[in-house]
């Protein structure tokens, strides 16, 4: 059985690449290639950490959040919804919209979820690959609130603590939302990657 926390910490130390400007490349694990057994371990760890929250639905953003979110949904036996970055022609009817800045792609992403898949009364766990500045996480949490649902937690595989995402969430009305990360990075100065203990 894979220990999710030990695995991600080792992976970042051994294979993560600091590309500068706060960008961490972990394509071999999260952002291009997916290792299913590792994702399953991540999902089981998030399920363990949020077991008391009575989660009824998971929300993530396409694309890199989908794998850990699906495995968390599998472990909790709840549906997983992913916010689309572009509204497809097949998405008719009411939707919830939010915007978030994207550093890796540049510009702003619109996040859209069909109202039929995010329901008032849901207890929603947001799962994503990274928590950095907090803008995407806040946008997802805003979608939950817009639907009349309750955000019960935020789980991220990697947190770049030095970018202040938690503080951003607190300052933007999400202080009550429990945040859990599997690995936390304290700094990425001078080409190094410094993990929290």
Q: Is 135 annotated as a binding residue?
A: yes
Give the containing element (helix H, strand E) for 128: strand 123-131
Q: Is 22 annotated as a binding residue?
A: no
Place of tokens 């939707």: 95
Residue 134 assigned ligand-binding role: yes
Residue 136 in marked binding region: yes
**Could you give the CA distance from residue 38 to residue 134 in angstroms, rounded to a whole number?**
25
169 is in an annotated binding site: no
- Tokens 């490349």 appear where? 25
Maximum pairwise Cα distance, the chain: 49
Between CA 84 and CA 117 the distance in angstroms is: 12
Q: Helix, strand, coil % (nearest 5) of the chain? A: 35, 30, 35
Q: Which two tokens stand for residue 65?
A: 């959040």
31 among the known binding-site residues? yes
- 44 in a labelled binding site: no
- Residue 24, annotated as binding a ligand: yes
The Cα 110–Cα 27 span in angstroms is: 23
Residues of each annotated binding site: 24, 31, 132-136, 160
Q: Which parts are annotated binding residues for xanthine? A: 24, 31, 160
Residues annotated in a binding site for 5-phospho-alpha-D-ribose 1-diphosphate: 132-136
């Amino acid at each position: 059985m894979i220990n999710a926390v030990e695995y991600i910490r080792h992976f970042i130390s051994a294979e993560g690449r600091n590309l500068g400007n706060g960008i961490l490349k972990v394509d071999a694990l999260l952002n291009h290639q997916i290792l299913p057994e590792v994702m399953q371990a991540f999902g089981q760890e998030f399920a363990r950490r949020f077991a008391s929250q009575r989660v009824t639905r998971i929300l993530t953003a396409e694309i890199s959040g989908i794998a850990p979110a699906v495995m968390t949904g599998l472990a909790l036996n709840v549906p997983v919804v992913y916010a689309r970055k572009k509204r497809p022609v097949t998405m008719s009817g009411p939707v919830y919209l939010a915007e978030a800045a994207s550093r890796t792609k540049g510009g702003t992403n619109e996040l859209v979820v069909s109202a039929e898949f995010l329901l008032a009364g849901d207890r929603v766990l947001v799962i994503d690959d990274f928590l950095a500045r907090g803008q995407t996480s806040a946008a997802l949490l805003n979608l939950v609130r817009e639907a009349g649902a309750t955000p019960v937690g935020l789980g991220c595989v990697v947190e770049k603590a030095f970018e202040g995402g938690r503080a951003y969430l607190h300052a933007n009305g999400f202080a009550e939302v429990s945040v859990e990360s599997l690995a936390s990075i304290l700094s990425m100065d001078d080409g190094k990657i410094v993990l929290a203990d």
